[in-house]
Structure 1
């Protein structure tokens, strides 16, 4: 590793720490906010670019797909060249791509710009958690992760409001143009980011290609499966490609000291349990996020504005709980905090699934708050464990797996909702919420297993 690798091995001094967290916060805000506001603008974009709704979906899909397939390769590259360098490159790419999105005059050009923007976002998200590990002293890492979770929740909650505000006074192009000055500011203050460990191995290009093929085929197959059983042959081929590439990738990684697909980290019991817990929890969350708007509008006949307001208490509760949970994570086991959080989350989801036939707004709001509190209590401690249970020089692999687990869970949750809605003419929303409750309970059990001697061990199996 490089000579400067240990300069910031146990946190940055104040006030440089604040500048580094400002950089991380701005980058994460842009990456999260851009995904949220693009969804709101899709109908307007489709209309003005003369595209069908199905075609316009690729404005969102292209971004998400690129992020998923490039997270692990970019986190591995961060271990080699430095996390701060990858982060700054990501900020630059994101800013240039945002400008390209704003200048697009066709759907093809916009989708191409969104692919580039996805690469920038993936640079940011692949190493942001690894950077937090080196920004804060080990005894305060939970605090830093809690702040990051707070920023993510705030950006997600503000997304629809920001999009509506921009579209009410300007064209859709400004939804992307607003990122340009933010990217520039973030890049200018990125000099405060910490120096970190640098690995001595070379980047594994064949493994990166196999990783992209595996996750790409899996996500496309899950998406097609979610649309029903009419194309099972195509789905089987896509899953087959994912399995073949996955087996090939795993075999290639077994002999490597710092594998791109972090098999070495998955051999650590508490890390593996945290990854599985994360996938289940985010799957449950996405099941609810996708289902509830349909339930509120189609079953309870609430307006779009009312739906947005009734959904807001969830992220607001998370905003308040996440920083507190981060501080608690520095004092109490994540298995305990995560298990309690998932139990509360499951209770909230179950209460939403069995709402009375004609609930008041208050009946809905308190249930949303319970869900937000439960998820907020779980998320920061779980992320802290994923980062601190691994060697410092493998923080990039842990950070990449953290993001990959989240996106994998969200993809699976979305596909399950689509499949339920396709199979059930009525009652699909309740079934989806019950399924979300079951996934949250599975996450609770997995989290609690980390309290056992085998689960809490940080030694390799």
Structure 2
């Protein structure tokens, strides 16, 4: 395969070593993504078995997401001090131990403790995964590598609900967690053998910045979750105030810290800033769509939950097919142009979904969701390539942390927007129009960096010829 060919002058790992390292990354990432999607379907079973309410059992998902969001930037910064390899191995090991603990839990409190530990492990692996791709692959194949990452994530999102349904059809929910143990152990051993070693950075760790970051991101997620679940105003305001105070303290600390957790000067690079902006708006739209479509299909069209889940599959399946192709193209043509075309298709898909009514058939729904998936697949890998390639390789861990945080925050904000819109009594189609608007904002950011990306490609070509 082209991804594992070695040419003279390549940076990264040689071809055979590259294959094993990628296999370790793919298995670890797939495990975390599948776990995130398959547990949601099991929440009713967990509630019945542990004899808890639906509002309480939701925290099995929430606490995983809160902890994961809070530690993304922390692990990205810490990886420079102790190396990405060690952080990734710590994440895999923690995830596997916590999965075993979750499978053996017999009350909600114990399960929540282990789910929090799983969120910690997932944060360690997901925060630095994209930057390890840059460490493994030569620069000429970065887009293809990130396209492979999109394929894995898309496959995980598509397989999670189906796998969960199959397992629950034959056995009980603890097996959903137990499945991660053998896969996680195999991934850990492979990663320990195959992932490249690095020389750690000298210097201190920004402990105060890490604390502010955790408080800021956890409060941000809790604020969005409270809005999305129509919590009392005082609760939403309290979380929001905590987010603002922690965010202000975090920014001040980053300006003064000798080794900041998130160097703010990264955002002076316009290509990076615009890629982050485009990613954030696009993931708001994705998070919004996944929740809005559940209400649209079940309440507006009267479809069953199982059929609703099936109607979601064209999105991740299209991402699996288009993402790797877009990643390969991004190594040859302007990535910003590809991202912009993808966002244009995403906007059309959102508008088409907003026009769905009771008369729209299954086929009419499928092509609309597939169009969104094609657009998102054409957007994401080239945009991620721009985000990673616009900064020096030494800052790839920071870029990876920002990428993961932007995705998590964007999706959570999309969920919160749906909750707020429904709480105000707005029709679910209105939220899909909001999705089209966020995709349009993403398109504006993407188009704005096309000349910058073109200039960077010219400079890279001239440096090679020299």
TM-score normalised by structure 2 residue count: 0.93
Summarize the alignment of residues 35-184 of structure 1 with structure 2, pairs less than 5 Å apart.
35-184=36-185
Partner deviation per Cα, 1:57-108 (whole Å, 9 max, x = no partner) = 1000000000000000101111111111111111111110000000000000
Partner deviation per Cα, 1:144-187 (whole Å, 9 max, x = no partner) = 11111100000100011000111111110000000000111001
Partner of 1:281: 282
Summarize the alignment of residues 175-214 of structure 1 with structure 2, pairs less than 5 Å apart.
175-190=176-191, 191-196=193-198, 198-214=200-216
Summarize the alignment of residues 280-299 of structure 1 with structure 2, pairs less than 5 Å apart.
280-299=281-300
Instruction: Work out the CA distance in 2 between the residues paired with 1:456 and 1:59.
Output: 47
- Secondary structure at the aligned position of 2:15 is classed as coil
Instruction: Work out the CA distance in 2 between the residues paired with 1:429 and 1:286.
Output: 14
- Classify 1:112/1:455 alpha carbon distance in 2 versus 1 (closer, same or farther; 3 Å): farther
- Secondary structure at the aligned position of 1:254 is classed as helix
Instruction: Work out the CA distance in 2 between the residues paired with 1:221 and 1:285.
Output: 19
By how many angstroms is 1:241 displaced?
2.0
Partner deviation per Cα, 1:182-221 (whole Å, 9 max, x = no partner) = 1110011112112235321222111111111111122212
- Classify 1:457/1:18 alpha carbon distance in 2 versus 1 (closer, same or farther; 3 Å): closer
Partner deviation per Cα, 1:31-56 (whole Å, 9 max, x = no partner) = 11111011000000000001100000
Instruction: Work out the CA distance in 2 between the residues paired with 1:241 and 1:93.
Output: 29
Summarize the alignment of residues 363-402 of structure 1 with structure 2, pairs less than 5 Å apart.
363-402=364-403
- Classify 1:360/1:454 alpha carbon distance in 2 versus 1 (closer, same or farther; 3 Å): closer
Instruction: Work out the CA distance in 2 between the residues paired with 1:151 and 1:453.
Output: 29
By how many angstroms is 1:457 displaced?
7.1
TM-score normalised by structure 1 residue count: 0.94
Note if contact 1:80-1:199 (Cα within 8 Å) is conserved in structure 2: yes
Instruction: Work out the CA distance in 1 between the residues paired with 2:239 and 2:181.
Output: 37
- Classify 1:9/1:80 alpha carbon distance in 2 versus 1 (closer, same or farther; 3 Å): farther
Partner of 1:30: 31
Note if contact 1:250-1:261 (Cα within 8 Å) is conserved in structure 2: no
Summarize the alignment of residues 412-427 of structure 1 with structure 2, pairs less than 5 Å apart.
412-424=413-425
By how many angstroms is 1:261 displaced?
2.4
- Classify 1:455/1:242 alpha carbon distance in 2 versus 1 (closer, same or farther; 3 Å): farther
- Classify 1:304/1:236 alpha carbon distance in 2 versus 1 (closer, same or farther; 3 Å): closer
2:222 equivalent to 1:220: yes
By how many angstroms is 1:226 displaced?
3.2
- Classify 1:404/1:257 alpha carbon distance in 2 versus 1 (closer, same or farther; 3 Å): same
2:302 equivalent to 1:301: yes
Partner deviation per Cα, 1:374-404 (whole Å, 9 max, x = no partner) = 0000000111111111111111111100000
**After the TM superposition, which segments of 4 or more aligned residues of structure 1 sit over 6 Å from their partners?**
454-459
Instruction: Work out the CA distance in 2 between the residues paired with 1:101 and 1:74.
Output: 23
Across the aligned residues of Structure 1 and Structure 2, the Cα RMSD in angstroms comes to 1.9
Instruction: Work out the CA distance in 1 between the residues paired with 2:395 and 2:200.
Output: 10
Partner deviation per Cα, 1:119-162 (whole Å, 9 max, x = no partner) = 11111101111100011100001111111110000010001100
Unaligned runs of 5+ in 2: 1-8, 460-466
- Classify 1:456/1:292 alpha carbon distance in 2 versus 1 (closer, same or farther; 3 Å): farther
Instruction: Work out the CA distance in 1 between the residues paired with 2:234 and 2:49.
Output: 36
2:275 equivalent to 1:250: no
By how many angstroms is 1:454 displaced?
9.6
Partner of 2:269: 268
Partner of 2:4: none
Instruction: Work out the CA distance in 2 between the residues paired with 1:18 and 1:207.
Output: 36
- Classify 1:280/1:455 alpha carbon distance in 2 versus 1 (closer, same or farther; 3 Å): farther
Unaligned runs of 5+ in 1: 1-7
Instruction: Work out the CA distance in 1 between the residues paired with 2:351 and 2:91.
Output: 40
Instruction: Work out the CA distance in 1 between the residues paired with 2:446 and 2:348.
Output: 16
Note if contact 1:335-1:447 (Cα within 8 Å) is conserved in structure 2: yes
Note if contact 1:197-1:393 (Cα within 8 Å) is conserved in structure 2: no
- Secondary structure at the aligned position of 2:256 is classed as coil
- Secondary structure at the aligned position of 1:367 is classed as helix
Instruction: Work out the CA distance in 2 between the residues paired with 1:171 and 1:362.
Output: 34
Instruction: Work out the CA distance in 1 between the residues paired with 2:68 and 2:37.
Output: 14
Instruction: Work out the CA distance in 2 between the residues paired with 1:447 and 1:109.
Output: 45
